Amino acid sequence: MSFLNKPTLSAMQWYYSKNSTQLGPISDQEMREKTTSGEILKTDMVWREGMPDWSMAGNVPELSMVTPPPPPHMASPGQTGGGILNTPYSPPSIATGYATQVANIPNYLWQSIVVTILCCLPLGIPAIVYAAKVDNLKASGNIAGALEASANAKKWCIISLFSCAVLVAIKVAGLTTRH
């Protein structure tokens, strides 16, 4: 997954979008100032060279944003068009953009529930805990954390499924040797 590799930030040129207008380029330093001051919100679209697609600022790992998104009705009623997601600048079009990849971090929730219900060992519970963490961390903009939680959810699903298989195998072996 190439988007995980953190590029060097020194000479980074950022572009951002406010009220359907493309602004920038600004330096990484300026970008950080604008995100901490709240001038650029989590829901504003940003792009820099190296990113396959525009992404919401809150979804960009290196901008670990803490500002909450504005209430949806804050936009003036006369405003038409694509709203906050309208990006005037067209980035290089790549089929799967960064934002899409972030949105698709698997949480393994349904797999966790199936192993919890069927394996009848409480090992499925940590899998569900990590599944819950994935969505929560993703929503708060902690993409690295969400990916780690996703991997852990998967790990516990496999542990649960494997121990279930072992127990069934022991049971079957016990039955066949009894005769």
Partner 1 sequence: MPMRAKRALLLMILLAVTAAAVFIFYQSNISAPWLPECMFHKLTGLWCPGCGMTRATHAALHGHIKGAFRLNPLGMVLFPVALIGISLELVGWVRGKPLPLSLRLGRYGASVILIVILVFWVLRNIPAWQFSLLAPP
Residues that bind partner 1 (CB under 8 A): 96, 104, 106-107, 109-111, 113-114, 116-122, 124-125, 128-129, 131-132, 134-136, 138-139, 167-168, 171, 175
Rounded CA gap, 151 and 162, in Å? 16
State in angstroms the smallest separation of the CB of 59 from partner 1: 13
Q: Which residues pair with 21 in a beta bridge?
A: 18
Collapsed DSSP state (helix, strand, coil) of residue 87: coil
Q: How far is the CB of 4 from partner 1 (least distance, A)?
A: 19
Which one, 16 or 156, has the nearer CB to partner 1? Answer: 156
**CB of residue 106 vs partner 1: minimum separation in angstroms?**
7
Nearer to partner 1, 42 or 48 (CB): 42
d(CA 132, CA 134): 5
Beta bridge partners of 55: 46
Query: Given the complex with partner 1, which of 93 and 104 has the nearer CB atom?
Result: 104
Beta carbons of 25 and 31 less than 8 angstroms apart: no
